Amino acid sequence: MTYIFTFLLSSRLFIHPYELMSKVCHLCTEQQRLGDPQADKVQKIAPKILQLLTEWTETFPYDFRDERMMRSLKELTHRLASGDEIYRKAVSQMSQGLIRRLTVLSQYEEALGKINATAAERLTVLKAKPQAAIQRDLLSICNDPFTVAQQLTHIELERLSYIGPEEFVQAFVQKDPLDNDKNCFSDHKKASNLEAYVDWFNRLSYLVATEICMPGKKKHRARVIEFFIDVARECFNIGNFNSLMAIISGMNMSPVSRLKKTWSKVKTAKFDILEHQMDPSSNFYNYRTALRGATQRSITANSSREKIVIPFFSLLIKDIYFLNEGCANRLQNGHINFEKFWELAKQVSEFMTWKKVECPFEKDRKILQYLLTAPVFTEDALYLASYESEGPENNMEKDRWKSLRCV
């Protein structure tokens, strides 16, 4: 973790990235204005400016979707390149790298839009013809829990890889009281990749619940539950804690957990162990211990399979949120609270290491397509399917069933 990373991450709590960039530009201009006797001053600071810009474009490329940033970058790189041949080469490489990263991001956002459109389309078909639309369930496409866990890991790692470190700060940025300007991000890119990742967690939870509530036969429902328990266990072994938690959340949804006759047919010992691992008590102590173990394994890993660490994402956001809320940005004397920002950067840079891991498993397009676009029931539809499988047990459930059938 470098000082530059910490500075670029936390400075945005006080100043727009484009304003910071224009200050760097101004500094270079001033150095050049100092006349011939000190003309080599720009050359003296050039390596440091180049180092700053290289790290900025590599680690925070999304900042450069702002035209003002691009203008300043062009001005700065022009100044640097007009000097030494070495700088010309380095500047060219840096600019090409940035354009490549921004192009890949645009392509990802476009692909995400298509996936969401397909999922919405399939849901519309499902609403129009409920029985005709469900020709398949996940088990008919793949009944191997290892393969499904691996495909889930593909989705997780892809979505993780596009989250910029600045999104953690932007997700809950607050206006600096000593700054009269409006919020630093009122006209800035929101934390959209982070939000898309949280949406994926919710989708997976609802997909699990849908797959369990859909079958008419108790035996089939029990088989689906046992299948997802095996998928969850394999996610745990891989180090994919986010999918693991999403599966557990789906199984713990009321429409699923109320299916007592179905659960009576399930061997729940493995599920109990997984629930124990993700138990929220003592601030998720068991999970944090497992995460530390996975992180340690990742550091000493020889294969990319052992490098995988996919954290339970909502908890990571919560930790960063509480760090941000619990410590002031400034000390009582008005100085910047550097200790807080070192800690913030430490947490975010650990995430940066995890998101760079290449997924070692082979892709299965059919399974991926299903996981990403298969129609999922809303909460009401889940309750309806649940009551139809196992009738209401008390007056509250009877009333709810009645009102759902009237809709």
CATH of the domain at 301: 1.10.840.10
The answer to whether residue 101 is domain-embedded is no
The answer to whether residue 301 is domain-embedded is yes
Q: Where are the alpha helices (DSSP H) in 239-378?
A: 241-251, 254-257, 260-263, 269-277, 281-299, 304-307, 313-326, 338-355, 365-373
Domain shared by 243 and 167, yes or no:
yes
Domain that holds residue 351: 135-171+184-404
Domain shared by 222 and 346, yes or no:
yes
Encoded tokens for 126: 């499902």
Domain's final residue, options 68, 95, 122: 95
Asked whether the CA dihedral 373, 378, 379, 383 is positive or negative, the reply is negative
Encoded tokens for 88: 């010309």
pLDDT (tens place) for every residue of the chain, 407 residues total: 589 999 999 998 888 999 999 999 888 877 766 555 555 555 678 888 899 999 999 999 999 999 999 999 998 888 887 767 788 889 999 999 999 999 999 999 999 999 989 888 887 776 665 555 455 789 999 999 999 999 999 999 999 999 999 999 887 665 444 454 444 544 445 668 999 999 999 999 999 999 999 998 999 999 999 999 999 999 999 999 999 999 999 999 999 999 999 999 999 999 999 999 999 999 999 999 999 999 999 999 988 899 999 999 999 999 998 888 888 888 888 888 888 899 999 999 999 999 999 999 999 999 999 999 999 999 999 999 999 999 998 889 888 888 888 87
The answer to whether residue 161 is domain-embedded is yes
Distance CA 381, CA 375 (A): 12
The answer to whether residue 156 is domain-embedded is yes
DSSP letter, residue 1? -
SS3 240: strand
Domain shared by 259 and 356, yes or no:
yes
| Contact between 144 and 234 (Cβ < 8 Å) | no
Distance CA 400, CA 255 (A): 12
The answer to whether residue 111 is domain-embedded is no
Domain's final residue, options 74, 95, 116: 95
Residue 194 has phi, psi (to 5 degrees) of -65, -45
Distance CA 144, CA 125 (A): 28
